[in-house]
C-alpha cells in the first residue's frame, strides 16, 4: 500500500466549477482540506473550499505558491494549459497524470490510443485541410461529424456533415483549428461507466448509467442502464483496461455507445463526470469521494449501489423547476452560480427510484 495522505492534508484542485465544488465537499467529509486554483472570480467551489487562489494559469508565482501549499494536485477539467502542468508537476504529485491528460485533451490522440488498446471507436480521420476532409468523407462516409481536436465540450466545436456538400461549411466552423472527422455510430443507447483507480492499482467501477443528451448536453442519467449482464461485464473490463494502460490515478468517465456490434468508446474524461452525479444519492461513497480517495492514496469504495437513481441536469432556466422539485423528496444539488444563462449547468436533481 502506498502512503495515504493523512487526515488534515490538503488537496489542490485546478478549477473551481461545480465539479471542484463537489470534490471539496467530499474531501471535507474525509477531514481533508481543499485549495482551489481558479482564474475566474467567485467560482462555485469557493463556498466550500478551505482556500481559493484567484490567478491565471500563466501566473508562475501563483502556481508555485499553490503547489507549495498543497500535498497533491488534481483537476476538475482536462484543458489545463501545458505550461502550467509543466511547472506544477515538478513541485507536487499530479493525479491523474500527464499521460491521461495528453490523451484526453486531443481527440485524435485519444481515439488512436483507444484503437491501439484493441477497443472499438467510431471511424475517424485526421483533418488538417480541405483535401484531408474530402478524403476522410470518402472513407468514412456521411453523415459524419467534424470536431476540433482540442478544447471541445458539451457539443461545442462540432459541425455535422450530413452530405458531402456541407464539408466546406463545417471546415469553416473549425476556424482553422486542427480537427478530426468521426463517422456516425448507429447506437441503441449511450451509457457511461465511472471508474476509479488508486496508486496501488486497485480498480473500482460503478454500475453504468444510461445517458440522454439534449442539444449536445447531458440531460439525464438513469441507473441501472438497460444492459445485458455481458454488456455490463464488457463495460467494466474495458474501463479497467483504459485505466491500467494509462497508469491512471483518480476517477474517469468513459462514455460508450451500445451497438449490436458491441460497446464503442465515444470519449473518456480524466475526471469526475456529470454522468456520475447519480452516485451522490445511490452510493455510500460517491464519485467525488472516490476521486479524492484515489488521489489521496486511500482505499477505494467498492462502487456498490444501495438505490436506483435518475439524475436530471438543471440547465439554464431549468432552475425554475427547483421549487417544485423541493416538494418531492428528491435530492437537489445546486452549484451556487449567481447568473442563470442558457446552456449553463446550474445544478442537478437525483431521484431515487427504488432499492438496488
Contacts to its own copies by CB under 8 A = 4, 7-8, 21, 24-25, 28-31, 33-34, 46-50, 281, 284-285, 293, 298-299, 301-302, 304, 306-307, 319, 322-323, 326-327, 329-336, 338, 347, 350, 352, 355-356
CA 267 to chain CA centroid, nearest Å = 9
Q: Following DSSP, what letter does each residue of 5-66 receive, concatenated?
A: PPTT-EEEEE--SHHHHHHHHHHHHTT-EEEEEESSSS-GGGGG-SEEEE--TT-HHHHHHH
Shortest distance, CB of residue 290 to its own copies, whole angstroms?
11
DSSP H or E segment with residue 252: strand 250-259
Neighbours of 121 (CB within 10 A): 20
Of 157 and 276, CB closest to its own copies: 276
Please give the Cα distance from 36 to 28 (Å, whole number): 13
Is 15 among the annotated ligand-binding positions? no
Question: How crowded is residue 89: how many other Cβ atoms within 10 Å of its Cβ?
Answer: 14
Query: Is 266 marked as a binding-site residue?
Result: yes
Q: Is 183 annotated as a binding residue?
A: yes
Does 153 show up as a binding residue in the annotation? yes
Asked whether residue 303 is marked as a ligand-binding residue, the answer is no
Pairing, β 10-14 against β 72-75: parallel
Picking from 150, 224, 218, 143, the residue whose alpha carbon sits closest to that of residue 186 is 143
Cβ distance to its own copies smaller for residue 8 or 118 = 8
Q: Least Å distance between CB 147 and its own copies? A: 33
Find the shortest distance in angstroms from Cβ 5 to its own copies. 11
Q: Which is nearer to its own copies, 7 or 130 (CB)?
A: 7
* Min dist. Cβ of residue 227 to its own copies (A): 22
Annotated ligand binding at 154? The verdict is yes
Q: Is the peptide bond before 115 cis (omega within 30 degrees of 0)?
A: no
Detail the residues annotated as belonging to a binding site for ATP.
Answer: 107, 147, 152-158, 182-185, 190, 213, 266-267
Residue ranges at the known binding site: 107, 147, 152-158, 182-185, 190, 213, 266-267
Amino acid at each position: 500500500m502506498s502512503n495515504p495522505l493523512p487526515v488534515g492534508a490538503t488537496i489542490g484542485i485546478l478549477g473551481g466549477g461545480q465539479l471542484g465544488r463537489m470534490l471539496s465537499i467530499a474531501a471535507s467529509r474525509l477531514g481533508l482540506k481543499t485549495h482551489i486554483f481558479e482564474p475566474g472570480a467567485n467560482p462555485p467551489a469557493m463556498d466550500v473550499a478551505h482556500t481559493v487562489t484567484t490567478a491565471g494559469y500563466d501566473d508562475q508565482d501563483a502556481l508555485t505558491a499553490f503547489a507549495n501549499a498543497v500535498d497533491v494536485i488534481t483537476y476538475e477539467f482536462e484543458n489545463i494549459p501545458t505550461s502550467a502542468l509543466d511547472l506544477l508537476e515538478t513541485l507536487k504529485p499530479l493525479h491523474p497524470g500527464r499521460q491521461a491528460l495528453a490523451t484526453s485533451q486531443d481527440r485524435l490522440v485519444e481515439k488512436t490510443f483507444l484503437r491501439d488498446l484493441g477497443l472499438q471507436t467510431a471511424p475517424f480521420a485526421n483533418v488538417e485541410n480541405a483535401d484531408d476532409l474530402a478524403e476522410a468523407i470518402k472513407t468514412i462516409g456521411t453523415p459524419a461529424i467534424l470536431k476540433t481536436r482540442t478544447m471541445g465540450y458539451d457539443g461545442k466545436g462540432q459541425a455535422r456533415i450530413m452530405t458531402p456538400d456541407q464539408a466546406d461549411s463545417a471546415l469553416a466552423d473549425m476556424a482553422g483549428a486542427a480537427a478530426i472527422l468521426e463517422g456516425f455510430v448507429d447506437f441503441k443507447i449511450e451509457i457511461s461507466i465511472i471508474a476509479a483507480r488508486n496508486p496501488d492499482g486497485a480498480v473500482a467501477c460503478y454500475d453504468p448509467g444510461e445517458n440522454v443528451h439534449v442539444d449536445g448536453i447531458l440531460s439525464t442519467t438513469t441507473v441501472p442502464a438497460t444492459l445485458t449482464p455481458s454488456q455490463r461485464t464488457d463495460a467494466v473490463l474495458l474501463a479497467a483496461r483504459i485505466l491500467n494502460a494509462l497508469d491512471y490515478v483518480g476517477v474517469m468517465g468513459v462514455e460508450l455507445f451500445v451497438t449490436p456490434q458491441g460497446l464503442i468508446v465515444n470519449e473518456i474524461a480524466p475526471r469526475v463526470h456529470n454522468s456520475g452525479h447519480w452516485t451522490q444519492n445511490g452510493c455510500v461513497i460517491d464519485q467525488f469521494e472516490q476521486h479524492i480517495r484515489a488521489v489521496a492514496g486511500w482505499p477505494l469504495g467498492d462502487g456498490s449501489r444501495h438505490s436506483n437513481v435518475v439524475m436530471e441536469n438543471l440547465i439554464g432556466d431549468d432552475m425554475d423547476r427547483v421549487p417544485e422539485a423541493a416538494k418531492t423528496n428528491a435530492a437537489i444539488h445546486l452549484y451556487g452560480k449567481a447568473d442563470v444563462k442558457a446552456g449553463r449547468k446550474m445544478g442537478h436533481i437525483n431521484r431515487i427510484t427504488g432499492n438496488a
